[in-house]
Chains A and B, each alone.
Chain A
Amino acid sequence: MSSIAPAETPGAVARDRVTVGDAVRGWWQGVRGGDLGSLPIFIGLIIIAIVFQSQNSNFLTSGNFVNLIVQASAYMTIGMGLVFVLLLGEIDLSVGFVSGVAGVMTALLLLDDGNAIGAIPAIIIAVAAGAAIGTLHGLLITKIGIPSFVVTLAGLLAWQGVVLLLIGDRGTVTLSNPTVIGFANDFLPTATAWIVLLACVGIYAATQISGRMSRAKANLPTEPIVLILLRVGALLLVGAIVVAVANDDRGIPYVFLVLAVLYLFWTFVLNRMKFGRYVYAVGGNTEAARRAGVNVDRIKIAVFAICSAMAALGGIILASRLRSVDTGAGGGQILLYSIAAPVIGGTSLFGGRGHIKSAVLGALVIASIDNGLGLLGLSSGTKFVITGLVLLLAVSVDSLSRRRQANTGRA
């Protein structure tokens, strides 16, 4: 238990506590008071693993593990963008088809018809188009005052139309560009994966220790060094297991690297930058933020732009995995899985509470269920019913723990 606790709330644990014992006690009191953090998710993932492994011994194989990462990657990417929108207490229903538009655009720009451009420019154009779409949504929501539900519901319809118009009578566009396909289908060399892991753990340890040192210098309460070492150790252990298992099969897919960079970047933006602070403030109390001089409209527009740009990136990752796009691009369960991911991960639909990691963990849960039920050969109907129940369960756990937090004055 004690090794899970510090790992899931880096930087936030026990700022004013002195000993490891105090920290653990404080964490346990928090859990009893309803401040569960990511604990339900970890328990959920363990239960999922046990249930599926007992039904089909292929679930916990290294090959399936790599598949799982790739399957979850698009939901993780789109979900990370949605975290921002949910933090404001808004919603974006258009992310599915915005991802479709970007996927189709990338495929068309790379179409081998003599006018193909490079992979990188194509990706940049598609993501920029996503950002422009989000800016449009944001302007409609802030300047005209249409609720985000309605604007993005209209977007859901309109951008689906754009997907169909772009595809035209081609039906299916095959991706042949090796760089774009490589995202989801190529793998890091074994040694490189280890080096990347060590670099990540090293950077994490360095920031943790330097943060603690500057707090100590300023005479602020610091957490015990043992706790930092435990967290770094836990990260190293989990990372090493992931890399070792993946290397046992095809290796770490490049898309995993993209996700890691996105995760670190957006976590930094939310926790260490003014912009992130303002996103939380607007979601927590819009009026307070406005009176404090925050340009609320600008924050909202930027958030919708980020969300659609991330959706676009998710669409490109999806296209890369499937090696083609068709008239169904962006449809199906993409929207609902992408919204469910951060919600299952613990981001509140009412704004103000949530983290980037919720999208990653939630998408992992959804992809595991999807993948596991697929291995069991169950029908789509059964899959959807079970995924729906899991979503309901996650939100119930969240609501109950929130009520408990309110009762114990932690809220």
Chain B
Amino acid sequence: MTDSHPVLELRGVSKSFGAVQALYQVDFRVAAGEVMALVGDNGAGKSTLIKCIAGIHPADQGEIVFEGKPVSVHGPKDASRLGIEIVYQDLALADNLDVVQNMFLGREELDGLRRLDEVDMEKRASKTLSDLSVTTIRSVRQTVAGLSGGQRQSVAVAKAVMWNSKLVILDEPTAALGVAQTRQVLDLVKRLGQQGLGVVLVTHNMHDVFEVADRITVLRLGQNVAEFATKDVTPAKVVEAITAGALSKVPGLSEEVLA
């Protein structure tokens, strides 16, 4: 499974903000049907990397290859056209709208008279949720305000996968959740992989990583310092890579100092 054709591959991606080198020569790949954990300390460049993929901060250098073809992503719309969806930590749900309305926000379906096609949208939303085995939501016509954190995360994920997406990036999906809700969301992440999507899980939480990830990429100071298959590695080793992984270059330091 892990050796299959990558759905997304980054080759030598660099990004700097003024004098700050946020990413340096990062290689990164995710295969279809694989859950790739992206771990690293604060400031390691995880968010910058996903923003490069999303086209929010286009990379300065390097190549993004999607399904075998080099692509240029200039904005969130390009990304979603390719089939890349990102679920941000704050979820971007409108509390006052119901589940269906949130899932279709910005991509509403209209009927022949240019009215909102509520029947069709409700049907598709319900189907997506049941395909993902999300059973905790009582009614898809409930407003999001009344949902628990785990349910909201499920809605945000379902919203992301509804559009034939091929790669879903989840930014700290369990950060604000309790034990039972974390369970729900991790199960959901596993199912996404089983359904053949590429999944990138950005997280701090080693437990989550070892629970669901097939492979682990470690970023440190903007560089890819290690890539592991989860089954071949211990949490201690991953933590070591996060805190002390070997760098090829330290921004601002010359090579001699490193050596």
Contact = CB atoms under 8 A, between A and B. Distances in A.
Interface stretch (B2-10, B117-125, B192-200): B117-125
Interface residues of A, number: 28
Contacts of A143: none
B116 A272 contact: yes
Contacts of B145: 410-411
Contact of A352 (B90, B96, B107): B96
A291 B76 contact: yes
B93 interface: yes
A288 B102 CA distance: 9
Contact of B105 (A220, A281, A411): A281
Contact of A294 (B106, B126, B139): B106
A281 B115 contact: no
Contact of A293 (B77, B88, B96): B77
Contact of B106 (A272, A280, A284, A293): A293
A351 to B, nearest CB: 8
A218 B106 contact: no
Interface in B90-141: 90, 92-97, 101-102, 105-108, 110, 114-116, 119-120, 122-123, 126, 139, 141
A20 B92 CA distance: 36
B119 A214 contact: yes
Nearest to B102: A288
A291 B96 CA distance: 17
Interface string A2-33: 00000000000001100000000000000000
Contacts of B126: 220
Interface residues of B, number: 30
Interface in B26-67: none
Contacts of A291: 76, 88, 92
B146 interface: yes
Contact of A280 (B96, B122, B139): B96
B143 interface: yes
Nearest to B143: A411
B108 A287 contact: no
Given A272-B115, A277-B97, 17 more contacts: A16-B139, A215-B119, A218-B120, A220-B119, A220-B122, A272-B116, A273-B115, A274-B108, A274-B116, A277-B108, A280-B97, A284-B94, A285-B96, A288-B92, A291-B92, A409-B146, A410-B145
Interface of B: 76-77, 88, 90, 92-97, 101-102, 105-108, 110, 114-116, 119-120, 122-123, 126, 139, 141, 143, 145-146
Interface of A: 15-16, 214-215, 218-220, 272-274, 277, 280-281, 283-285, 287-289, 291-294, 352-353, 409-411
